[in-house]
Amino acid sequence: MLTKVRISGGGRCNVTHAEFIPNQLCLNYPRGEKELIGPFHTFMTGDTMEWFEKKGISLKIEDDGRIFPESNSSQTIINCFIKEVERLKIEVLKQHPVKLIKNEKNNWLISTENKTFISRKVLVATGSNSKMWNLLKVLGHSILPPVPSLFTFNINDSRIKDLPGVSTMAAVSVLSKEGTTKLNSEGPLLITHWGLSGPAILKLSAWGAVDLFDVNYQFKIKVNWLKSETKESVFERLKELKNQHTKKYLHTNTQLELPKRLWQNLLLASKIYENQKWAETNHHQLKELASQLTQTIFHVQGKSTFKEEFVTAGGINLKEINFKRYESKIHKGLFFAGEVLNIDAITGGFNFQNAWTGGFIAAKAIATID
């Protein structure tokens, strides 16, 4: 129970993100950006923090904006939910897989392997669950096929080989087959045993989830290790460095604030070898180094799951939802919250905030007598 809460944030539970302006918070959702503006004006980050703190859970904001319990343990959040369930005398039934959801005479029939329940209102908060989506299809809802949304890029390339753990700021672009830029991202880039990860990559994986799935995760990316600098401007800087450090060996004279081992690998890719001094470099070598520094092309050949973050794009078509109540436009009394809807976000606590917001608004609507 509450497995996603347990594993979130490396077991610390990244409950939300320190963005307190609804229109800005929405920008972190590749799917759901437009639809969440209204709901976030009703319940968002500050409300989430207040809810937990009223329950005695102290939260902290980290430098990157992620918000965690002070305890650094997801068990704190799990215990909070369990305590609330017990206080409100809510019965939680386990081992009751749902087999059928049916609307009959203004009532909902929910049939499980053990029993059939009758209710006037139903809230579906089952996450990315194909069995539940199939049941909702029968009720007339359209489902956008689920595809992974947060993942890292698998790359086998000598320029980043043997550099796991090296991290730096960079700008990354996903390229089309024609070589034009399709998606851009900038931020921390982490080299791993299997390729590239870090916020810059995860943003691309979220925004490009459907497109990258369609090409079977076989595509090219361009990395600018110096973020916004151009090949031409870097070439001029390298010529200046050559004049300043004539007698120094390039491999032991790391420049441009790059990690040393990455600098050395890019030198080798530019055919600048360990025994070469700045004075011995030629025009062609410096041009090639400028290109490697600002326009490194990598061929991505597959993906890997980011830690244990299982986030998917896909789910119930958002056009079929009344976001003032998180209620189905097709069936009165049928409500939704969380990833069962076609809403997903980049990493950083945003996916949980979507769940908390939807759960709060749906619960208020369900509690209203009508």
What pLDDT shows up at residue 2? 87
What CATH number is associated with residue 130?
A: 3.50.50.60
Same domain, 254 and 316: no
Same domain, 122 and 181: no
* Sheet hosting strand 296-301, strand order edge to edge: 296-301, 218-224, 167-175, 181-191, 195-197, 151-154, 303-305
Question: Within the chain, which residues score under 50 in pLDDT?
Answer: none
- The domain boundary, picked from 305, 321, 342, lies at 305
Q: Compute the distance between CA of residue 125 and CA of residue 133 in angstroms, rounded to an integer.
A: 11
Q: Which strand (E) or helix (H) includes residue 134?
A: helix 130-138
Structural domain that includes position 180: 151-305
What pLDDT shows up at residue 367? 95
Q: Compute the distance between CA of residue 240 and CA of residue 146 in angstroms, rounded to an integer.
A: 52
CB 210 within 8 A of CB 147: yes
What pLDDT shows up at residue 307? 59
Q: What is the DSSP string of 182-213?
A: EEEEEEEEEE-SSEEESHHHHHHHHHTHHHHH
Same domain, 225 and 319: no
Q: Is 321 exposed, middle or buried (0-12, 13-18, 19+ CB in 10 A)?
A: buried
pTM of model > 0.95: no
CB 308 within 8 A of CB 13: no
Exposure b/e, 226-240, CB count within 10 A at least 16 = b: beebebeebbebbee
Q: Is 85 helix (H, G, I), strand (E, B) or coil?
A: helix
**How far, in Å, are 126, 159, 324, 325 from residue 35 at the CA level?**
20, 42, 10, 12
Q: Give me the number of domains the chain comprises.
A: 2
Same domain, 75 and 219: no
Long-range contacts of range 111-114, CB-CB < 8 Å, 24 or more positions apart? none
Same domain, 58 and 35: yes
C-alpha torsion sign, points 126, 128, 131, 132: positive
Q: Compute the distance between CA of residue 179 and CA of residue 272 in angstroms, rounded to an integer.
A: 27
Q: Are strands 107-112 and 98-104 parallel, antiparallel or unpaired?
A: antiparallel
For the stretch 213-228, pLDDT in tens is 999 999 999 999 999 9
Q: What is the end-to-end Cα distance of the chain in Å, rounded? A: 32
Same domain, 164 and 298: yes
Same domain, 76 and 159: no
Q: Compute the distance between CA of residue 124 and CA of residue 102 in angstroms, rounded to an integer.
A: 13
For the stretch 180-224, pLDDT in tens is 888 999 999 999 999 999 999 999 999 999 999 999 999 999 999
**How many residues does this entry show for the chain?**
370
What pLDDT shows up at residue 182? 87
Same domain, 14 and 135: yes
Same domain, 137 and 201: no
- The domain boundary, picked from 305, 328, 356, lies at 305
Q: Compute the distance between CA of residue 149 and CA of residue 213 in angstroms, rounded to an integer.
A: 9
- The domain boundary, picked from 282, 305, 328, lies at 305
Same domain, 262 and 353: no
CB 256 within 8 A of CB 170: no
CB 55 within 8 A of CB 363: no
Across the strands, what pairs with 325? none
For the stretch 239-269, pLDDT in tens is 999 999 999 999 999 999 999 999 999 999 9
Q: What are phi and psi of 220, to 5 degrees?
A: -115, 145
Same domain, 156 and 301: yes
Q: Which two tokens mark 28?
A: 């972190």
Same domain, 43 and 113: yes
